[in-house]
Structure 1
Amino acid sequence: MKAAVFLLLLLFATKTYSAEPELREVKRLFEAATHSKDSSDRLLEILSGIGPSSPPLFICYKGAAEMMRCRYGLNPIHKFKRFKKGKALIEAAVKKESHNIEIRFLRFAIQTNLPSFLNYNDDITKDKQFLLSNLKTIKDKKLKDSISKYLSTSNYCSAEEKKGLNT
């Protein structure tokens, strides 16, 4: 009887989480999705279980994946729905973890690649300043290199800001 009560308490006391994809695989597919519809589809597939209670970084990647998927669609109505869904996910992630440099980088990269008529470009300057200010604090070398490389080729960074990336 005690064992049964203990098991019931254990079941109610532990949260169950859906299996999260491996972050390394998400990042690999995200990079490949810029050039491959199959990678874009696979990325959305592995992020399909991500919901509001998931870690904000995964929520942000799901939002970015929704937006990237628009590039391979033909129907403008479906593309706009995906854009709005992606935007809501990215903004939810930023709201939950505004200090997360990778989330801010993803939003910056998305906003600097979208057509201006979508009016999703209000945070470019703020995110750029955040990235430039916090770049030296990044411990993940690959992430740091990716952000530096992106900023160094960005039309949104001045020559002076680009020069500061190399120091």
Structure 2
Amino acid sequence: MKTFLLSFGLFVAIFSSAGQNLAEIRSAFHLVVLNPDDSKDFHQLVNNVKNPSYTIEAYQAVSEALLAQVVWNPISKLNQVVKYNKMMEKIVDEDPTNIEIRFLRLAIEYNLPSFLGMSTHLEEDAAQIVSNLSNVSEMQVNPMLGKYILSFLEQTDLCTPYQLAQMKRSFGQGVVTAGAE
């Protein structure tokens, strides 16, 4: 019985810690997008997580792409983006319906120079996000994340006005569960 309680306590601690890490990582991501000079700190933060979930692994991949903004050597920049791309492909294959992972890939690919030819998933990711955002209550999407995704998609031409209105209605009807990670 002691072993069970100890194991259960450890299980709860690991998962509550993972949620706390994810909240901290999301917050740091928003900040690093505004200040790319913090890319190295963000990279260190996400890579210090032990036993990361697929979502945190996606942020680890994103940190590789963000480092490309602060290195000066063009070869190093390309190497960072290639490393990101390989990591993200694997992560999306493992968790293809996770809209946070799809959003992260979409955000990076949307901002990559087109001559790299690495922005091949924009429509696919936008469609996956749109189709899954209509079921946000079932997916337990973090409310702030949902608003951030919607705001990003509004600034792109990747969604139709109808799709954006549909997503706004989903959020406006309170179907997003507060505090969900």
Same fold (TM over 0.5): yes
Match of 2:35 in 1: 36
Query: Given the alignment, which residue of 136, 147, 150 partners 1:148?
Result: 150
The TM-score with structure 2 as length reference comes to 0.74
Compute the displacement of 1:147 (Å): 1.3
- The root-mean-square deviation of aligned C-alpha atoms, in Å, is 2.4
Structure 1 regions of 5+ residues with no counterpart? 1-9, 11-16
Bigger radius of gyration among the two:
1
Moved more, 21-30 or 96-105: 21-30
The TM-score with structure 1 as length reference comes to 0.79
Equivalent residue pairs, number: 151
Partner amino acid, structure 2, of 1:69: L
Compute the displacement of 1:47 (Å): 2.2
Query: Given the alignment, which residue of 157, 164, 167 partners 2:166?
Result: 164
Match of 1:48 in 2: 47
Please list, as runs of the form range in 1=range in 2, the aligned pairs for 1:130-141 lying within 5 A after superposition.
Answer: 130-138=128-136, 139=140, 140-141=142-143
* SS of equivalent residue, structure 1 residue 122: coil
Bigger RCO (CA 8 Å, 6+ sep): 2
Contact 2:134 2:167 survives alignment (8 Å): no
* SS of equivalent residue, structure 1 residue 72: coil
Compute the displacement of 1:58 (Å): 1.3
Partner amino acid, structure 2, of 1:27: R
Match of 2:173 in 1: none
Structure 2 regions of 5+ residues with no counterpart? 1-6, 8-13, 170-181
The CA distance in 2 between the partners of 1:150 and 1:34, in whole Å, is 12
Please list, as runs of the form range in 1=range in 2, the aligned pairs for 1:11-160 lying within 5 A after superposition.
Answer: 22-49=21-48, 54-138=52-136, 139=140, 140-160=142-162
CA shift in 2, pair 1:130/1:37, >3 Å:
closer
Compute the displacement of 1:160 (Å): 3.4
Moved more, 131-140 or 86-95: 131-140
The CA distance in 2 between the partners of 1:75 and 1:50, in whole Å, is 28
